Amino acid sequence: MKALLFLHVLVAMAVVGELIAAAVAARFELWDLARRAALAALATTIAAIGLGEGLAADQGVHAGWLDASRALAGFGLLLGGALLVVLTGPSRLRRLAAPTAALLVLVGLATAFVMAAKPS
């Protein structure tokens, strides 16, 4: 269980780091790097969600804070990450990639706060 928790936290930190990298790369119009960082963030988001679900099942936790973090991760990070991948591709809307990535960083930090605080 400790290894699963460690991997979940490690992968979640990687998600936020990759989103920061995507935001900075998009801000400086390094589109190839921004797209790779967005794809990496999307892949690690899927891994973080999978590890989190495994951890919740292992511990038998059913709580409101867990549902809130699932909603933030699923709708915010997963769908937002997919949007970011589209925006960093060959698109007329590339100017929206940096603000989108910055917003996703905030969603990632909000998810981490909900997970750490475990409000009841």
What would the two tokens of residue 45 be?
A: 């988001």
Express each pLDDT in 82-117 by its tens digit: 999 999 999 899 999 999 999 999 999 999 999 888
Q: Is the pLDDT score of 12 beyond 70?
A: yes
Show the domain range for 104.
2-117
pLDDT of residue 119: 65
In total, how many domains does the chain have? 1
pTM of the model: 0.92
